[in-house]
């Protein structure tokens, strides 16, 4: 009678370019940085980071999520993502779910936008139904994991207001520490603090603060690989929830770039036959 999906929250955000881009952020400091205010310097770093991650074209990848609860019990999710970068708009993406088996064949189409809410459709294979869903909910968990939808969405400069905090050295790696305040009133966070390495401009770690201002989660990135001689992607990232004791390990594999995806690979017909 009433439609339902076990993807529950899938319904909401999830701008996949996102899942692929997985937050390769910030960047180098201009020479005059010392003269800038902390806000200007933070923004400059974010802007340069985005510039450096522009031009990847199209890509595909497989993802595995391992969810672990406080008692150490594990469950996993498997999905595949295709994404297309657009020149004057947000990315388009198509995600197919392989596991758990009760949601196998469910697929998700997203057209992300810079200024307006994303357009999102879900395909429910049991009913053969394509359902347009609201993209408003960014703070909900993605498939029961510790990743919220907004954690997986692509990095766009305009999503945050920035403040450069300081430099830090961790395990011999020199890092910028930047505070990011979400501009979206529907974000689940009051603040993010990101550590970015000065050499490759890749995120090393991000702290997330909840609506009460308390430290909620920490995301760490590892096993970076470079593609097309330019774009860095972390093969592993781990989200730890400090308040619940739960964690999620997200692993990417089979990254491919320039596989010839076109605009016509992202519509309701391709959504229905995605599998």
Residues that bind other proteins (CB under 8 A): 1-4, 6-9, 12, 67, 69, 75-76, 99-104, 116-117, 119, 127-134, 136-137, 139-141, 143-144, 186, 188, 262, 264, 267-270, 273, 275
List, in order, residues 6 or more apart from 11 with CB less than 8 Å away.
5, 120, 122, 133, 134, 137
| Closer to other proteins by Cβ: residue 221 or 266 | 266
Using alpha carbons, select from 192, 199, 124, 127 the residue that is nearest to residue 155.
192
| Closer to other proteins by Cβ: residue 24 or 141 | 141
Question: Least Å distance between CB 111 and other proteins?
Answer: 9
Question: Least Å distance between CB 255 and other proteins?
Answer: 19
Torsion of CA 5, 211, 77, 268, to 10 degrees: 50
For the chain, state the CA radius of gyration: 18
Question: Least Å distance between CB 146 and other proteins?
Answer: 10
| Closer to other proteins by Cβ: residue 170 or 259 | 259
Question: Least Å distance between CB 77 and other proteins?
Answer: 9
| Closer to other proteins by Cβ: residue 126 or 173 | 126
Which tokens hold the place of 7? 């993807």
| Closer to other proteins by Cβ: residue 39 or 244 | 244
| Closer to other proteins by Cβ: residue 150 or 197 | 150
Q: How far is CA 175 from the centre of its chain?
A: 21
Residue 106 per-residue DSSP state: -
Question: Least Å distance between CB 55 and other proteins?
Answer: 24
Question: Least Å distance between CB 213 and other proteins?
Answer: 14
Question: Least Å distance between CB 18 and other proteins?
Answer: 19
- Can you say whether the dihedral through the CA atoms of 77, 275, 134, 155 is positive or negative? positive
Q: Count Cβ atoms within 10 A of the Cβ of residue 21 and give its class: 0-12 exposed, 13-18 middle, 19 or more buried.
A: buried
> Do 148 and 138 touch, CB atoms closer than 8 A?
yes
Phi-psi domain of 213 (left: phi exceeds 0; alpha: psi -120 through 50; beta: other): left
| Closer to other proteins by Cβ: residue 129 or 223 | 129
> Do 115 and 217 touch, CB atoms closer than 8 A?
no
Distance CA(179)–CA(266), nearest Å, equals 35
| Closer to other proteins by Cβ: residue 129 or 230 | 129
Which tokens hold the place of 42? 């933070």
Question: Least Å distance between CB 15 and other proteins?
Answer: 15
């Amino acid at each position: 009678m009433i439609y339902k999906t076990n993807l529950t929250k899938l319904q909401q955000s999830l701008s996949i370019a996102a899942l692929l881009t997985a937050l390769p952020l910030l960047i180098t400091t201009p020479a005059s940085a010392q003269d800038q205010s902390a806000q200007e310097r933070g923004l400059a770093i974010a802007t340069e980071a985005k510039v450096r991650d522009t031009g990847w074209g199209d890509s595909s990848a497989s993802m595995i999520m391992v969810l672990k609860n406080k008692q150490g019990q594990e469950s996993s999710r498997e999905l595949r993502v295709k994404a297309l970068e657009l020149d004057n708009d947000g990315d388009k993406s198509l995600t197919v779910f392989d596991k758990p088996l009760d949601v196998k064949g469910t697929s998700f189409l997203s057209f992300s936008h810079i200024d307006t809410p994303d357009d999102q459709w879900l395909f429910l294979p049991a009913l053969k139904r394509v359902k347009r869903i609201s993209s408003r909910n960014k703070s909900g968990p993605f498939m029961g994991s510790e990743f919220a939808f907004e954690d997986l969405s692509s990095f766009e400069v305009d999503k945050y207001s920035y403040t450069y905090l300081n430099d830090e050295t961790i395990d011999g790696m020199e890092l910028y520490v930047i505070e990011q305040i979400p501009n979206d009133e529907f974000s689940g966070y009051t603040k993010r603090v990101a550590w970015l390495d000065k050499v490759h401009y890749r995120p090393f770690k991000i702290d997330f603060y909840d609506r009460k201002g308390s430290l909620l989660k920490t995301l760490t990135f590892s096993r970076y690989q470079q593609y097309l001689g330019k774009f860095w992607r972390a093969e592993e990232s781990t989200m730890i929830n400090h308040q619940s004791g739960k964690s999620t390990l997200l692993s990417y594999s089979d990254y491919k770039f320039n596989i010839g995806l076109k605009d016509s690979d992202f519509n309701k017909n391709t959504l229905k036959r995605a599998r």
